[in-house]
Amino acid sequence: MITTVTLNASIDKAYYMEKAIKNGEVMRVSRCRNSAGGKGLNVARVVQLCHEEVLATGLVGGYNGQYLESLLKAEGISFEFGHVLGETRSCINILDPQYGSTEYLEPGCCVTKDEEKEYIKLFQEIVKKSDIVTLSGSVPQGLSADIYQKMIEIVKNENKEVILDTSGVYLKEGLLAKPTMVKPNKEEMEMLFDTEINTIEEVIHYAQKIAQMGIQYVVVSLGADGAILVMENQVLHARPPVIQPVNTVGCGDSMVAAFAVALQRKYPPKEALTFSVAVATANALSPETGSFEMQQCESIFNQVKIKEIEEGEYICH
């Protein structure tokens, strides 16, 4: 079973506008769509579409938390959340013809130390029945800076595999526990190493630095250029076919989900990377976040070009 963790879950509200937004005026929404939000929940949706058993966990609270669980139940996604006294946040995405997408993201309620301890106890029990665990996204106020590090250590102590997809101090602290895989993007690596990254050579260079920390798989998404997989002694670059993207939101989460599925199925690295890029590309063709058509994915899989990068082929200056 694959378990997905979303510590800072949300009710995602998409507001569809017929007219461009005008500041300071009353604007009427033509259509509204509510969904259970958070990076880990996008991962859970994609795992379910891949026909693998999945369990969503994390923290929820208040009426919004109850509503989020009801939305997941309607989708047929199994869940086992820790409950807090605070209210689960809402995140609003305004889509209008002039500006496109404008997002307003609440920070999330404050979680107490006792609530953190209670959730860690629940998480320990969930890990025992899991094979792969994914840890995704931001963290609500009040949780320890090393929360992901603690959770990775719990997973590894049970000899299970764990994927980390986060940023900032939570990525830095999480790396100390050596997760099986991490999926930083260019901006997250720039923050991690306090540097500017401008070329694919530099992407590989800094991904190798992460791999040298004891990380088995470092996957870096390159958008339309696919993704790089860096391992201790091997670098792979997978390029998808050229497409006209419909919605790129959630492509990173789709890549995490696909790699978790690949680990569950014990795919070799080349097949795992090809599958991950195919699923992420298929997600970009869907108007919904964390969704794809399997037939499209299979077609893209056969068109992905994968290349092993030899040492010295890309030289970092």
- The per-residue b/e assignment along 93-118, b for 16 or more CB within 10 angstroms, e otherwise, is bbbbeeeeeeeeeeebbebeeebbee
CB atoms within 10 A of CB 235: 20
What domains appear along the chain, each with residue ranges and CATH number? 1-16+29-179 (3.40.1190.20), 180-317 (3.40.1190.20)
Residue 252 has a pLDDT of 86
Q: How many CB atoms lie within 10 A of CB 181?
A: 23
Q: pTM of whole model > 0.75?
A: yes
Cβ neighbors of 133 (< 8 A, separation 6 or more) are: 2, 3, 4, 5, 127, 151, 155, 160, 161, 162, 163
Name 244's Cβ contacts closer than 8 Å, sequence gap at least 6.
Answer: none
**What whole-number distance in Å separates Cα of residue 133 and Cα of residue 6?**
11
- Rounded CA separation 226/215 (Å): 21
Q: HSE (CB half, 13 Å, CA atoms) of 25?
A: 8
Tell me, what's the pLDDT at 313? Answer: 59
Report the length, in residues, of the chain. 317
Q: Check the CA dihedral 38-44-46-49 and report its sign.
A: negative
Find the catalytic residue in 12, 96, 165, 253: 253
What per-residue confidence (pLDDT) applies to 317?
Answer: 37
Rg (CA), the chain: 19
pLDDT in tens, 10-43: 999 989 999 888 889 898 999 998 999 999 999 9
For residues 225 and 292, give the distance between their C-alpha atoms in angstroms, rounded to a whole number.
19
Q: How far is CA 101 from the centre of its chain?
A: 20
Whether 131 sits among the annotated catalytic residues: the reply is no
Helix (H) or strand (E) holding 116: helix 113-128
Taking the mean position of all CA atoms in its chain, how far away is CA 152?
16
Taking alpha carbons only, the member of 258, 242, 241 closest to residue 292 is 258
How much is the pLDDT for 248? Answer: 64
User: Are 280 and 255 a contacting pair, CB within 8 Å?
Assistant: yes
Alpha-carbon span 91 to 12, nearest angstrom: 5
100-105 and 89-96 beta bridge pairing: antiparallel
Question: On the CB side of 121, how many CA atoms lie within 13 Å of its CA?
Answer: 7
Task: Give tens-digit pLDDT for 146-189.
Answer: 999 999 999 999 999 999 999 999 999 999 999 999 999 999 99
CB contact set of 131 (below 8 Å; sequence gap of 6+): 1, 2, 160, 161, 264
pLDDT of res. 108: 87
Report residues of the chain scoring pLDDT below 50: 315-317
